[in-house]
Amino acid sequence: MNNTENNSPSHTEFYNETAGNPGKRFNLGLRSKLYEKYYIPKLLEWGVFEAAKDVLEVGVGSGDKLSITKKHLPENINTRGIDYSERMLEVGRSKYPELKNDLEQGDAYTLENVESESQDVMMYYQILHHFEASELKQIIDTAYDRLKVGGKLVIIDTFKLENPIRKLLFNTIEPIYAVMSARRKEGTKNYHNHPKDSFVQFIENNGFRQIHESGDKPPFFISEIVVFEKI
């Protein structure tokens, strides 16, 4: 990839280690189960994919969630997944033969192989909290360029928590997850959970309007869904 300034070697190594780390793999498997049980039904209920022809998941990892998305969509919808780690993609191609031609390497900053105004839906599931505010600007600008007018930007992520029950759960789970996760080498990016209100305002200031959100109920949902439309 060309964006070596943003993707430092240690950041790259973190994503590559994810593919073989048991704790991280367990976490990704759990996320996919939550996605199938709670999140994809909500997206379908909201009609996010209605009239869509091209759906792209950025930060697709090993394709767990893209496989679920594909299963719930009509066959004539083109699904595609991009991830920075080739190791993760290799796992996905082996695990999901139906995604063999849907998974490709790329980075969220540039999406070099995705044409401008070509996507109807772009999805970011639990990846934006890995980036600082200054980095998010380039990522969201790229998403805006690649989406068609009226296209949907789907963000499922963890924001700074106000609900006391969710805050307690997150503060209990996160230290355990940190121990189980891939090794944190010096310079590896940590988590940057952004306050939700300012995050939404930031997205809206960059050419989108919010059209759906799941809210933080029930409180055991660590991740929330926020859907925007390109205007």
Give the integer Cα–Cα distance in Å for 110 and 129. Answer: 18
Task: Name the strand (E) or helix (H) holding 10.
Answer: helix 9-18
Please report the pLDDT score of residue 215 as a whole number: 79
What residues have CB less than 8 Å from 228, skipping those under 6 apart?
152, 153, 155, 203, 204, 208, 209, 210, 211
**Helices marked H in 39-153:** 40-45, 64-72, 86-95, 133-146
Question: 201 is written with which tokens?
Answer: 């305002």
The closest of 178, 59, 187, 209 to 122, measured between CA atoms, is 59
Quickly tell me which residue has 């189980």 as its tokens: 180
* Cβ atoms within 10 Å of 223's Cβ, excluding its own: 19
The model carries a pTM of 0.83
Per-residue pLDDT of the chain (231 residues; tens, 9 = 90+): 344 344 443 444 555 555 556 556 666 667 788 899 989 999 999 999 999 999 999 999 999 999 999 999 999 999 999 999 898 899 999 999 999 999 999 999 999 999 999 999 999 998 898 888 888 999 999 999 999 999 999 999 888 666 666 666 666 666 555 555 544 444 444 667 778 889 999 999 999 999 999 976 665 566 889 999 999
Q: 127: which 2 tokens?
A: 């990846």
Question: CA-to-CA distance for 121 and 58, rounded, in angstroms?
Answer: 11
